[in-house]
């Protein structure tokens, strides 16, 4: 293998930022038109051979024949591999997993399975790989096994496709918010506010504090209890009073002990606050338009067609492609139905289905209930908004509904919504925020908080136990009606695409 390097070094050295040698006069393609990655090369279908093509990538598999080795090359840019035909005497070191640089002619392929292939004249191994010990193999490997290799798993073509998809979704979300004049902000990850008791928190302590004992006390690192954020919402509300409409995409942490894909201890959450509005519909419209924007932005993209393609190494614990395609189509449906929680309960009570949890007004909806609603109301493809949940099962910050809105049902509700999608159930939600000081204090007291609003601004550093007084302050000085939305795991569209919504990075 080392013998290969000196032989090709002269021919393959970079002449600038490009990885290609300037083509000779006889070449048809000019430097600027030559694609620079596997995806680009696969889309490049000249009718005649193009010489002096160079490509960097990783060997996905090798089929050795007497005179040639057929190398499947990938570089993370494409689910499909590029076929490189390497003369046997140049194939030393081209083993599965190796990082290589290949040079040769890009020619229409005689074989089946690909329109073009690279007839390699120069091959360099830039990062060798011992095929005998490389744990990622072309054959099927169970998700359980692959989960033990989080540092290598992204190299699996399907997984790198999911990561590219996430990148494109984030770009599309950014363009959506940008074009709607929302300001992107970044809220603290380490925070003294544990939001609304949205989930169990991770308490941040230093190793010193952890090792402390009565005989060996440690000086606290922070002056008060600090947690890994469970939601950016409260901080975002403060920022919206300074900037107007704001959004963030932030890592979020919940200490929930669970192996289901729906309960992750670390995930990304998109949150947006819309200021100067008293209309829950406006907040729902924002969420609906945001998802439709992403769906239409990406619908013709290569990455979506790859995710929906039935070929490749799709693991059997992923939803079938037809199901994912259906979810995708659902996002582009015209009007997403909106029903109240009370209507949802009525539908559930009337349903001829043996639910394991009896639906009853005042209780939260279980996944089986949400599935039923999404199928019945959303007809199995359209997302459905369920609004106005009972106040007692929702967090303190949600704005109280108008009691007299439905005289036949004078039960306390809050102005909120959950977005249910077929099969996946709740992927997003939001609410109007209680912007009236006295109502907020009352709501906090009824939930066991002990707010102590002061005359001046709350100095949270001096009030270690009263971590939400600053939140009350927001209501004391210029708090317009406002509301917000959230979506968990937006880069994978709430996990709808990489169904096992797990981290693909170490």
Ligand X SMILES: NC(=O)C[C@H](N)C(=O)O
Task: Write out the H or E segment, with its range, that includes residue 298.
Answer: helix 280-298
The yes or no reply on residue 38 touching ligand X (CB under 6 A) is no
Site for ligand X in 263-302 (CB under 6 A): 271
Q: Which residues contact 183 (CB under 8 A, 6 or more apart)?
A: 239, 243, 244, 245, 246, 247
The yes or no reply on residue 430 touching ligand X (CB under 6 A) is yes
In angstroms, give the least distance from the CB of 195 to ligand X: 5
Q: Which stretch binds ligand X (CB under 6 A): 11-19, 108-116, 155-163, 190-198?
A: 190-198
Between 7 and 263, name the residue whose CB sits nearer to ligand X.
263
The yes or no reply on residue 486 touching ligand X (CB under 6 A) is yes
Which residue in this structure is represented by tokens 């317009």? 480
Q: How far is CA 22 from CA 18, 19, 31, 106, in A?
A: 9, 9, 6, 15
Between 88 and 242, name the residue whose CB sits nearer to ligand X.
242
Between 119 and 431, name the residue whose CB sits nearer to ligand X.
431
Count of alpha carbons within 13 angstroms of residue 283, beta-carbon side: 33
SS (H, E, C) 390-457: EHHHCCCCECECCHHHCCCCCCCEECEEEEEECCCEEEEEEEEECCCHHHHHHHHHHCCCCCCCCCCC
In angstroms, give the least distance from the CB of 485 to ligand X: 7
**How far apart, in whole angstroms, are the C-alpha atoms of residue 338 and residue 341?**
10
In angstroms, give the least distance from the CB of 233 to ligand X: 3
Query: What are the beta bridge partners of residue 430?
Result: 417, 485
The yes or no reply on residue 484 touching ligand X (CB under 6 A) is yes
Q: Which stretch binds ligand X (CB under 6 A): 10-18, 171-179, 193-201, 319-327?
A: 193-201
In angstroms, give the least distance from the CB of 429 to ligand X: 7
Binding mask 200-239 for ligand X (x = CB under 6 A): -------------------------------x-x------
Q: How far from chain centre, in Å, is Cα 259? A: 18
Per rule CB under 6 A, count of chain residues that contact ligand X: 9
Q: Which stretch binds ligand X (CB under 6 A): 16-24, 195-203, 292-300, 473-481?
A: 195-203
Q: Which residues contact 399 (CB under 8 A, 6 or more apart)?
A: 414, 415, 431, 432, 433, 434, 435, 439, 481, 483
Of 170, 198, 325, 500, which lies in the binding site for ligand X, with binding defined by CB under 6 A? 198
Query: Which residues lie near ligand X (CB under 6 A)?
Result: 195-196, 198, 231, 233, 271, 430, 484, 486
């Amino acid at each position: 293998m080392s013998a290969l390097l000196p032989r090709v070094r002269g021919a393959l050295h970079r002449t600038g930022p490009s990885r290609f040698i300037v083509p000779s006069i006889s070449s048809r393609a000019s430097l600027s038109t030559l694609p620079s990655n596997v995806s680009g090369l696969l889309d490049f279908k000249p009718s005649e051979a193009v010489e002096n093509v160079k490509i960097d990538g990783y060997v996905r598999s090798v089929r050795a024949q007497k005179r040639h080795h057929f190398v499947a090359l990938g570089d993370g840019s494409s689910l499909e591999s590029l076929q490189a035909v390497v003369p046997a005497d140049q194939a030393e070191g081209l083993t599965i997993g190796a990082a290589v640089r290949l040079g040769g002619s890009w020619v229409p392929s005689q074989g089946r399975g690909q329109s073009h292939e690279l007839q390699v004249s120069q091959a360099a191994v830039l990062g060798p790989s011992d095929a005998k010990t490389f744990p990622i193999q072309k054959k099927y490997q169970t998700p359980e096994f692959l989960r033990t290799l989080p540092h290598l798993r992204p190299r699996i073509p399907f997984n790198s496709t999911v990561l590219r998809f996430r990148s494109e979704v984030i770009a599309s979300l950014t363009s959506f918010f940008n074009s709607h004049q929302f300001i992107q902000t970044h809220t603290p990850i380490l925070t003294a506010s544990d939001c609304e008791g949205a989930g169990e928190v991770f308490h941040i302590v230093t190793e010193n504090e952890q090792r402390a004992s009565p005989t060996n006390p440690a000086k606290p690192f922070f002056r008060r209890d600090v947690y890994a954020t469970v939601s950016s919402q409260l901080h975002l509300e403060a920022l919206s009073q300074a900037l107007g409409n704001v959004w963030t995409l932030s890592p979020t942490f919940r200490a929930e002990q669970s192996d289901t894909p729906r309960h992750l201890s670390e995930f990304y959450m998109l949150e947006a606050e819309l200021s100067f509005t008293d209309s829950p519909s406006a907040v729902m419209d924002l969420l609906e338009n945001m998802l439709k924007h992403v769906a239409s932005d990406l619908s013709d993209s290569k990455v979506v067609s790859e995710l929906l393609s039935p070929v490749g190494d799709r693991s059997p614990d992923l939803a079938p492609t037809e199901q994912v395609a259906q979810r995708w189509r659902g996002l582009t449906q015209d009007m997403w139905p909106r029903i109240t929680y009370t209507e949802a309960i009525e539908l559930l009570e009337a349903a001829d289905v043996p639910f394991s949890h009896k639906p009853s007004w005042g209780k939260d909806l279980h996944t089986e209930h949400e599935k039923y609603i999404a199928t019945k109301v959303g007809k199995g493809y359209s997302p459905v908004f369920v609004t106005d949940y009972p106040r007692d099962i929702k967090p303190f910050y949600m704005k109280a509904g108008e009691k007299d809105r439905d005289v036949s049902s004078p039960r306390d509700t809050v102005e909120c919504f959950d977005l249910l999608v077929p099969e996946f159930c709740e992927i997003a939600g939001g609410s109007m925020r209680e912007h009236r000081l006295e109502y907020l204090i009352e709501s906090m007291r009824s939930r066991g908080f002990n707010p102590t609003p002061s005359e001046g601004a709350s100095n949270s550093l001096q009030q270690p136990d009263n971590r939400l007084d600053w939140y009350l302050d927001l209501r004391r000085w210029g708090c317009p009606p406002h509301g917000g939305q959230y979506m968990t795991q937006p880069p994978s569209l709430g996990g709808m695409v990489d169904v096992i919504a797990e981290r693909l990075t170490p």
